[in-house]
Structure 1
Amino acid sequence: MLDTATPSRPATQPTAAQLRSRRRRRERVTNGVAYAVLIVIALIMLYPFYWTLITSLEPTGNIYEAKLLPEAIGIRNYREVWLGTTVPFWRMMLNSVIICTAGVSLTVTCAALAAYPLAKMNFPGRDLIFYAILILLVLPNEAGLIVNYITVNKLGLLRLEDPFWRAAGQYAAVVLPGIASIFGLFLFRQAYLGIPTELLEAARIDGATELAIWRKIMLPLALPTVAAFAILEFVAYWNSFLWARIVIQDKELSPLSAGLLELSGTFSTNSRAVMAGAILMIIPILVIFAFGQRYFMKGLEGAVKG
């Protein structure tokens, strides 16, 4: 008797279009989950800033209560800070501008100069020196507070009597310990390594000095790195708090970040005015970053590639 059963047929293979459709669906699901996680993280990070903003706008109420909307809105706290009824806001703003201008200029110049021989000059122990300097990154900034204070005190920066030189000395005491930036040295060295050595050799054949090569070739080609590092240093100097509180002896010379502490008294604290001052202090950072964002990203990208 013949077996008339129908033989089993192999399963149909998915077509190329179906495979692409499945891959797109998987990518959409993966991207959706990734975006959801990133949104949650962004909200967690942004809420403290939002809480500071709504607290600064509220004239009264419990500042320690978590909330999404302010109970009332007013500008009284901003008016107190802006008009200097609580602290000399505009004088502290001027102090911050002076400290940031001097600090950023000196730090960027020193880092850009120091990175050039470590990247483009050949001498014994070059890499050893660089890695020895780089190891110091593991030390926290607080580890150098005592040494830095002794140094600026021995230099006489904190003992000047003339009002003009007294102010200049205290500004210098805030700026000088930070001008030797190890991170800036690393950033510029990485950017310089990406510049072809042939350009430097051609300039040397034409009789250019090393300083001229650095100024006319290296710096223009590393301009995005200059901008990126300048933004980072501006933020660091603008937010300088602990060191400024230690070395600034005259309250009228305090930068904005340290001077806002004067709103906190021994027995009472004007917390809403502190929040208003913090919001006003953030605005210059946002403006600087908004205008320099393109150069900032290019500078970090060039340093990573280098």
Structure 2
Amino acid sequence: VSLEVRLRVVCIELLCAAMSTGGLKEPRHAELRNKIISGFFKCLTVRHEEVVEVSRDALAYVIAQQKLQKELLQSSLRPILLNLADYRKLSVPLLQGLGRLLALLSNFFNLTLGEKLLEHLRRWTDPEAVNKAKTFKAGDEITIPCAILSLFHLLPPAPAKFLDALVQAVMELEQGLPGATAAARHWSQYREALVPYMNRHAPEAVQYFIERLGDPRHFRMLHALIKTAEGTEVREELATKQAEKLLAHTFDAAAQPGAAPNLLQTGLLSKASELRFQGVVLVHTLVK
């Protein structure tokens, strides 16, 4: 760690300590307090993790001690939000800084932010258009979409608004990865970034995938989610609360009286067999 970074860390710690003193709490020092708080906000998007961590802790302390004025919040967040307006200005530190803000101030943001992030995410499904911008370096096609995806679980809950759009965006992004097939991949960095969102909205996510098991891409994604160690909530939801629904959509797909002749007539018997196979795979994964 460089001397400059260590100096910045110590200065932020000193300012945070000063914020708790009686002298700085006096009304005549309100402007100074606001400048210090604004400085904490700015440090959330720097590239030095040590500075970011101490700034986040300082902000968390300040927020716990007092309710921040709306004007102060707006002025402190404006530089970050202005950069978010243009996808060409996106960077991993900026998005990570936004994530830290969402964790601290989730009630301050609304779904409009999610809509903007989704708009940026969809741009990355068109690599040619992104390359024309000539502002990104090699590897950004992975890191920036992943950083965007990792923010959605911090937004106000709205699974009906974003769930399908995020799944479709991830599938499109995966098509640009090596080894991609029409049936989608078994795993990717994009899916990993989406796991926290799926866990937060596990009931809606599981229902969404069960209803789309006829599509191999959705089956593979659900299977991947319950296989990963981080997919705890999704796995628990499927294994307990929606187990009967899983059986109804897989093993019992063609078990209704009179269903078999209809399946034979319409050529859907193989589809029913495929659904049953998917049921076996999912149940086997759940009980392992």
- Give the structure-2-normalised TM-score: 0.23
Larger relative contact order (Cα-Cα within 8 Å, sequence gap ≥ 6) = 1
- Give the structure-1-normalised TM-score: 0.22
Larger radius of gyration: 1
